[in-house]
Amino acid sequence: MALSCLTRALRSLTVSQNTLLSSQCELGALVSTTVAQCRGFLTTASLEQNKTLWKQREKYTIKPIGMKKTGGRDHTGRIRTHGIGGGHKQRYRWIDFQRLHYEEGKEGKPFEEKVVEVRYDPCRSADIALVAGGSRKRWIIATENMQAGDTIKTSAVIGRMAVLANEGDAHPLGALPVGTLVNNLEIQPGKGSEYIRAAGTSGVLLRKVNGTAIVQLPSKQQVQVHETCIVTVGRVSNIDHNKEIIGKAGRNRWFGVRPSSGLWQRKGGWAGRKIKPLPAMKNYVNLPSITAQ
Amino acid sequence: MFPETSRCVTAALSPFSKTAVLKELRRFFAHGGVCRLQPRRHFGVSRRLTAKVPPPRKPRERVPIPGLEMIDYGERMHYVPGLAKPVNPDWEKDFKDPRYYKSPPPDKMPLSKEKPCYVFNQRSSLLEGVPQALCLTKTKLIPGLPPQLLSAVENPANQIPDQDERVQNAIKHARFWDTTEERPDKTKYSNTLLNNLMHLCATLQSSHPAIGRRMLAEKCSLAATWKRGEDLFQIRGQNSLLHSCMDPLPVVSGKEEVAETADHVMQSLYPVSPTIDLQKIYVYKEEMNNTGFRDDYPYPHVHTLYILDGDDTNFSLRREQFRAKILMFAFGNALARAHKLYGTQPQHVLDCPITVQAVGTNGRIFQFLVFQLNTTDFSGDDGIKNQAWLDEDAELYDFAKVRPLIKKKQVKVPAGLAGYKPEIFNKFLAMYLHGAV
């Protein structure tokens, strides 16, 4: 008798296609049937969230993509970051951070692009520019004086003499004269820019040292990167962004910033002005060390 | 299996609170949970059902090593630990079943080619607008309509009696009277307006018998292929309204002017390529030329093309892009006709240039175009070019408001038709009567 119960239980644990039909039934109908002596299993289909499905697009497009707001919640559903939620609906415009992105079939040659329009981007502080070159269009971060109708140049050539850089053009660090203001800095060549993208920011090219270049970031931190990393010349657009006055709590809510807790909390050692020496220069170039055998 | 499975679900529900699980599941279905064919097994009854599911593990990749034969347990008909899983060949039906037919990938289709073809269809919105269309069709643009066209309408014999009043009635019918709701849709009123204006022009048939030798056709498809420089281009689509005639349109510019176009320098679009915003395809039929009609159609010559903005698409184009669309479709019709008459080989100069007219409207603003095809040789930027006379942004009326626009208690724009311009209808009539006067 125990054996028959066990076999019945084990038999019921097999999964078959009939379960798909049962998942369509009313949940209430299931409750009314009698209870059997076997462990249950889930008859619904796999429960997948599509929280980040909007990000999974592979093909580049200039069409704005509808975004799902997270509200500061992570995949478990709990708040990971406080103070995020609500705000105006936003659509994501896919920015091509790899400025040196050759078109199909035209690799290796410096190319020019025409700026079609410069517009506000709800997802970042800087303005973005739609540029068209060859047969493709893409969004890039706009620089300070970029206007519709301008022509911007992108090249990967490092000549012996430094290039007279125009604002908005993109060159490798090794080709630019020392002291130029740069933005959209690539740390590893070809990876795409990850630094100096916020509104009004700019880095300074300090020195060029055999095959590497040292750039000062807006936080006064210095980084040493390979000289073939592409940067854009000039300051990022929307330079008065830091002078903007929010004015009222409501405007912050439109930006999706929720109020912080009003509880007065004693500030600890983290608060207050700190005067300390600059951190050491960060080196992102994989130079072979002398001690390596 | 049914009653067993349902019993098992209730057994799952009974150990702990039914309501909690039901709530989760119900909330889950409200979200629209994604269904897979194989349901996930669920042995634990006390965990959250809506947690993140780890992605399904991909099966191990089989790497065929040349020279080594995998021994699998296929022959033994049961699993044997240590032997490889048997790989069965993909089975395909030996007959073609239309219910379960999967089309091959684009590179394996029979018409796929290595060289791409750029297609202009009704939905194309060219980035550079008219300059890009001129570059693609090797055309010289002349602003304003040709004077001999406009002079025909100045003759009172060629005008409609009570013209202004009848045109205003036509506009009011299209904008105000043609609906049971407050105001009609843009596509509806633009369509009605165009039909009304054409009907008005057609009332002159009693005094101009040549109008009777014309025929109207809606949504006829068009296909034309040409090679510009190194690239192959095609224009494919449906014309909104085509007015075709038994006799060809008279040539607008004489041989001297045609020869003068050889000195005209084409505008360069650098750094934008003329192929931008065109659909790039690798599967196409070469030499695709189709006027939309059979050879024995009694009205083979295209007279005027009437294109409505937003008629065949669910979006409306900006004015510059709309003008480019009109130009391209007029060119396409002329080229298809030229290919039929003179063959598909590029001709440096056509003995009899083909003239096609086009009118585009969005219900209020009209774009008039006269296109003359002089050459089918598009290999370089020099040589004889085609000509296009374009009259841009002709507003037939300023406002046709159902409710008056009142700002600060003052009527800025009164209700009804305001700002009617009679000369625009004169141009419309001139284009209609071209060839019939």
* pLDDT tens per residue across span A149-181: 999 999 999 999 999 999 999 999 999 999 999
pLDDT tens per residue across span A217-237: 999 999 999 999 999 999 999
ipTM over 0.85: no
Q: What is the pLDDT of residue A289?
A: 58
Q: What is the pLDDT of residue B59?
A: 86
Q: What is the pLDDT of residue B1?
A: 47
Q: What is the pLDDT of residue B153?
A: 85
CA distance B336 to chain A (A): 26
Compute the distance between CA of residue B88 and CA of residue B68 in angstroms, rounded to an integer.
18
Residues of A within 8 A of B280 (CB-CB) are 135
Compute the distance between CA of residue A41 and CA of residue B41 in angstroms, rounded to an integer.
6
Decide: A232 and A197 in contact? Cβ < 8 Å. no
Strand B354-361 versus strand B301-308 pairing type: parallel
**A18 at B interface, C-beta within 8 A:** yes
Strand B221-228 versus strand B279-283 pairing type: unpaired
Residues of B within 8 A of A106 (CB-CB) are none
Residues of B within 8 A of A27 (CB-CB) are 22, 25-26
pLDDT above 90 covers a percentage of chain A that reads 73
User: What is the pLDDT averaged over residues B121-143?
Assistant: 95
pLDDT tens per residue across span A177-214: 999 999 999 999 999 999 999 999 999 999 999 999 99
Place of tokens 């625009």: B424
**A70 at B interface, C-beta within 8 A:** no
pLDDT above 70 covers a percentage of chain B that reads 90
| DSSP per-residue string spanning B98-135 | GGG--PPPGGGSTTEEEEEEEEE-TT---SS-HHHHHH
A248 compared with A1, residue with greater pLDDT = A248
pLDDT band, residue B48 (cuts 50/70/90): confident
Compute the distance between CA of residue A168 and CA of residue A146 in angstroms, rounded to an integer.
7
Q: Residue A199: phi, psi to the nearest 5?
A: -60, 130
Q: Which of B50-64, B184-198, B203-217 has the lowest mean pLDDT?
A: B50-64
Comparing CB atoms, the residue among B3, B22, B40 nearest residue A46 is B40
Decide: A116 and B127 in contact? Cβ < 8 Å. yes
Compute the distance between CA of residue B195 and CA of residue B301 in angstroms, rounded to an integer.
21
B103 burial level (CB within 10 Å; 0-12, 13-18, 19+): exposed
pLDDT tens per residue across span B231-259: 999 999 998 899 999 999 999 999 999 99
Q: What is the pLDDT of residue A181?
A: 97
CA distance A265 to chain B (A): 34
pLDDT band, residue A32 (cuts 50/70/90): very low
Residues of A within 8 A of B8 (CB-CB) are 12, 36, 38-41, 43
Comparing CB atoms, the residue among B26, B37, B40 nearest residue A42 is B40
Decide: A23 and B34 in contact? Cβ < 8 Å. no
Comparing CB atoms, the residue among A15, A23, A151 nearest residue B271 is A151
pLDDT band, residue A31 (cuts 50/70/90): very low
pLDDT tens per residue across span B83-123: 988 888 888 889 989 999 989 999 999 999 999 999 999 99
User: What is the pLDDT averaged over residues A63-77?
Assistant: 90
Residues of B within 8 A of A75 (CB-CB) are 51-52
| Among B185, B153, B6, residue whose Cα is nearest residue A36 | B6
| Among A82, A84, A148, A74, residue whose Cα is nearest residue A117 | A148
Q: What is the pLDDT of residue B253?
A: 92
Compute the distance between CA of residue B341 and CA of residue A292 in angstroms, rounded to an integer.
78
Q: What is the pLDDT of residue B6?
A: 47
Q: Mean of the per-residue pLDDT values for chain B?
A: 88
Taking each helix axis from N to C terminus, what angle separates B422-433 and B163-172, rounded to the nearest 10 degrees?
100
Contacts of residue B287, Cβ cutoff 8 Å, sequence gap at least 6: B225, B344
pLDDT above 90 covers a percentage of chain B that reads 73
Comparing CB atoms, the residue among B29, B41, B52 nearest residue A49 is B52
CA distance A173 to chain B (A): 24
Residues of A within 8 A of B53 (CB-CB) are 46-49
Alpha helices in chain A (DSSP H): 2-12, 18-24, 27-32, 249-254
Decide: A234 and A145 in contact? Cβ < 8 Å. yes
Q: What is the pLDDT of residue A41?
A: 56
pLDDT band, residue B70 (cuts 50/70/90): confident
User: What is the pLDDT averaged over residues B335-353?
Assistant: 93
**A41 at B interface, C-beta within 8 A:** yes
Question: CA separation (Å) from B162 to A80, A172, B169, B398, B429?
Answer: 75, 72, 11, 21, 14
pLDDT tens per residue across span A127-149: 999 999 999 999 999 999 999 99
Residues 199 to 218 of A: which have CB under 8 A from any B CB?
A: none
Cα-Cα-Cα-Cα dihedral of A196, A197, A199, A202, to 10°?
30
Compare all CA atoms of chain B with the CA of A113 and give the residue at the minimum distance: B271
Residues of B within 8 A of A12 (CB-CB) are 4-5, 7-8
Strand A230-233 versus strand B354-361 pairing type: unpaired
| A40–B45 CB contact, under 8 Å | yes
Q: What is the pLDDT of residue A9?
A: 58
- Taking 80 as the threshold, does the pLDDT of residue A19 lie above it? no
- Taking 50 as the threshold, does the pLDDT of residue A24 lie above it? no
Q: Which of A101-115, B21-35, B65-79 has the lowest mean pLDDT?
A: B21-35
Cα A19 from chain centroid (whole Å): 41
| A40–B51 CB contact, under 8 Å | no
CA distance A254 to chain B (A): 26
Task: Decide: helix, strand or coil at residue B61.
Answer: coil
Compute the distance between CA of residue A123 and CA of residue B77 in angstroms, rounded to an integer.
58
> Which H or E run includes B225?
strand B221-228
Residues of B within 8 A of A16 (CB-CB) are 1
Q: What is the pLDDT of residue A1?
A: 65
| A39–B28 CB contact, under 8 Å | no
The residues pairing with B222 across neighbouring beta strands, listed in sequence order, are B237
Q: What is the pLDDT of residue B24?
A: 55
Residues 107 to 146 of A: which have CB under 8 A from any B CB?
A: 111-114, 116, 132-137
For B235-275, the three-class secondary structure string (H helix, E strand, C coil) is: EEEECCEEEEECCCCCCCCCHHHHHHHHHCCCCCCCCECCC
Instruction: Number of helices (H) and strands (E) in chain A: give both, helices first.
Output: 4, 13
Taking each helix axis from N to C terminus, what angle separates B2-13 and A2-12, rounded to the nearest 10 degrees?
100
Compare all CA atoms of chain B with the CA of A27 and give the residue at the minimum distance: B22
| A135–B6 CB contact, under 8 Å | no
